[in-house]
């Protein structure tokens, strides 16, 4: 009788995972796992995972992490993989930990204006659920109909309404986090105020799954704002549009949205959706208010835009027309993707530096002979230059990568940051050191080691 052979390491990993997960939750079929290897970022490598798992309880996530620690296997947490930095990309031989089945809204408390949700909840679904109580979850990334709350927390995402309502970090009150060894950490609070100890909640937000796996979140809700009214203002130059942005903010207005699209972006959206936007304009500024009397605010902003050089200002007559204008903005990435392979930058600068930032991007596009369209969350200085190139043309791809780096360098020179809301991931890892400096980087590495001493959580990302 022949001796029974011991299982290989990959086999043992799969067997141990299956011992604590339901049937069908452990996937090794390469045709399936290959589809989960990467997010939506370009120029980011992705390894071959050993296994893909779909837990649906906190205890199952703990089992995955305990197994990973026992066998020293890296783990890459994932949500909907709509990210643009490579943070959800597989590393070689890893466990891909997909949290999409943990998609329950556990509680909505209209008195305390909070929601308790699992990480796989879709952003828009939470907003719709809160609306039944006349409440809203206000952070609204452009991908809000598909991105998950866990992914929003992982990247510290923003959205179109940040100019008035802020970003994800300002709405996360507390978290349940499974650490690398399977222990469950509870951070934060359910109260409106609380300053007990170091703010571990804020530390986890934006950490891209490198410190722990978020399995539950306590989120702040706000009363649903009134419907927005928007205007569209055409400008003969991005300088003039940026001057209008500065004047609007300096004048004390608080728009609920202020978005800027350059001519490349406007033409791309028109080509995709035939929305009748003005192809001839050099910059299109969208401004919206959700105040008690938005028409009065729009009238004042109309005057400011015209004083700054706007050639045409068209206020929406009602919320339906406003929604149409905002839909044009939400289509930007889809429209740019239709032009070729894209790299989406995410450089935030002070509002006062928007004009030189956009001028610099246009100069970079000309110098590298590339199409680069820029849209901005102009109200908070967050620019999204989108580099378009032919991925099959090695020379053009190299120029695209070089232009991307020059855009980040320009942002830092102007007093900005390499990422306002997309995260560092793989794409901007080398640039993080330039922004933080040696001491800042070393302190962050010490924090990482305190949470994850074996370096198993999303290795190779961020730091």
What is the per-residue DSSP string for 266-301? Answer: HHHHHHHH-----TT-SEEEEEEE-SSSHHHHHHHH
Q: Which residues contact 335 (CB under 8 A, 6 or more apart)?
A: 265, 268, 269, 271, 272, 273
High-pLDDT (> 70) share of the chain, %:
98
High-pLDDT (> 90) share of the chain, %:
88
What is the largest distance, in Å, between two alpha-carbon atoms of the chain?
92
Average pLDDT, the chain: 94
The answer to whether 447 and 211 are in contact (CB under 8 A) is: yes
Domain ranges of the chain: 9-98, 105-223, 229-413
Strand, coil or helix: what is 261? strand
What is the chain's length? 463
Q: CA 52 to CA 28: how far, in whole Å? A: 6
Q: 114 pLDDT exceeds 60? A: yes
Q: Which residues contact 152 (CB under 8 A, 6 or more apart)?
A: 123, 139, 141, 168
> How is residue 386 annotated by DSSP?
E
Provide the CATH topology of domain 105-223. 3.30.465
The answer to whether 393 and 430 are in contact (CB under 8 A) is: no
Structure confidence at residue 1 (pLDDT) = 41
The answer to whether 142 and 421 are in contact (CB under 8 A) is: no
Strand, coil or helix: what is 88? coil
pLDDT tens, position by position, 294-309:
999 999 999 999 999 9
Which CATH code is given to the segment(s) 229-413? 3.40.462.40
The answer to whether 182 and 69 are in contact (CB under 8 A) is: yes
pTM value is 0.93
Q: 142 pLDDT exceeds 90? A: no
Q: CA 31 to CA 54: how far, in whole Å? A: 16
Q: 361 pLDDT exceeds 90? A: yes
Which CATH code is given to the segment(s) 9-98? 3.30.43.10
| Segment 166-190 mean pLDDT | 97
- The region of weakest confidence among 298-302, 373-377, 427-431 is 427-431
Q: Which residues contact 378 (CB under 8 A, 6 or more apart)?
A: 163, 241, 242, 245, 258, 259, 260, 285, 351, 354
| Segment 255-267 mean pLDDT | 96
pLDDT tens, position by position, 226-243:
999 999 999 999 999 999
Beta bridge partner(s), residue 218: 116, 174
What is the rounded end-to-end Cα distance, in angstroms, of the chain? 52
Q: 6 pLDDT exceeds 90? A: no
Task: Using CB atoms within 10 Å of the CB of residue 179, give its burial: 0 to 12 exposed, 13 to 18 middle, 19+ buried.
Answer: middle
Q: 207 pLDDT exceeds 70? A: yes
| Segment 194-213 mean pLDDT | 96
DSSP assignment of 396-441: HHHHHHHHHHHHHHHHHHTT-BS-SSS--TTTTHHHHHHHHHHHHH
Residue 42 sits at φ, ψ, to 5 deg, of -90, 165
Structure confidence at residue 364 (pLDDT) = 98
pLDDT band at 44 (very low <50, low <70, confident <90, very high): confident
Other beta carbons within 10 angstroms of residue 1's beta carbon come to: 3
Other beta carbons within 10 angstroms of residue 10's beta carbon come to: 14
Structure confidence at residue 8 (pLDDT) = 67
């Amino acid at each position: 009788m022949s001796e029974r052979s011991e299982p290989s390491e990959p086999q043992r990993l799969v067997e141990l995972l299956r011992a604590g997960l339901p049937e069908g939750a452990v996937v090794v079929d390469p045709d399936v796992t290959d589809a989960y290897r990467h997010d939506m970022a370009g120029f980011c490598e992705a390894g071959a995972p050993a296994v893909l798992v779909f837990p649906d309880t906190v205890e199952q996530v703990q089992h995955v992490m305990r197994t990973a620690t026992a066998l020293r296997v890296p783990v890459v947490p994932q949500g909907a993989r709509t990210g643009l930095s490579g943070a959800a990309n597989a590393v070689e031989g890893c466990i891909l930990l997909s949290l999409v089945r943990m998609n329950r809204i556990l509680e909505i408390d209209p008195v305390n204006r909070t929601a308790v949700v699992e990480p796989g909840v879709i952003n828009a679904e939470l907003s719709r659920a809160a609306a039944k109580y006349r409440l809203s979850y206000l952070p609204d990334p452009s991908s809000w109909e598909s991105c998950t709350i866990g992914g929003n927390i992982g990247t510290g995402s923003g959205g179109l309404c940040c100019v008035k309502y802020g970003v994800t970090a300002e709405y996360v009150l507390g978290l349940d986090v499974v650490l690398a060894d399977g222990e469950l950490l509870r951070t934060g609070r359910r109260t409106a105020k609380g300053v007990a100890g170091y703010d571990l909640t804020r530390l986890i937000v934006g950490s891209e799954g490198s410190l722990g796996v978020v399995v539950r979140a306590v989120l702040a809700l706000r009363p649903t704002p009134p419907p927005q009214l928007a205007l569209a203002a055409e400008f003969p130059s991005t300088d003039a549009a940026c001057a209008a942005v500065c004047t609007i903010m300096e004048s004390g207005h608080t728009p609920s949205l202020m978005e800027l699209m350059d001519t490349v972006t406007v033409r791309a959206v028109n080509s995709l959706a035939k929305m009748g936007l003005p192809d001839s304009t050099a910059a299109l500024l969208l401004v919206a208010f959700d105040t008690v009397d938005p028409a009065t605010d729009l009238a004042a902003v109309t005057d400011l835009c015209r004083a700054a050089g706007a050639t045409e200002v068209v206020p929406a007559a009602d919320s339906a027309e406003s929604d149409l204008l905002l839909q044009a903005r939400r289509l930007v990435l889809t429209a740019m993707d239709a032009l070729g392979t894209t790299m989406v930058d995410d450089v935030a600068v002070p509002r006062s530096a928007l004009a030189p930032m956009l001028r610099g991007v246009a100069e970079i596009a000309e110098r590298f002979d590339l199409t680069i369209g820029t849209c901005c969350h102009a109200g908070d200085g967050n620019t999204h230059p989108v580099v378009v190139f032919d991925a099959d043309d090695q020379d053009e791809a190299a120029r695209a990568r070089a232009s991307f780096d020059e855009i980040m360098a320009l942002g830092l020179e102007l007093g900005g940051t390499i990422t306002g809301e997309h995260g560092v991931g793989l794409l901007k890892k080398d640039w993080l050191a330039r922004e933080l400096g040696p001491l800042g980087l070393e302190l962050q590495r010490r924090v990482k080691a305190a949470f994850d001493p074996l370096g198993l959580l999303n290795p190779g990302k961020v730091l």
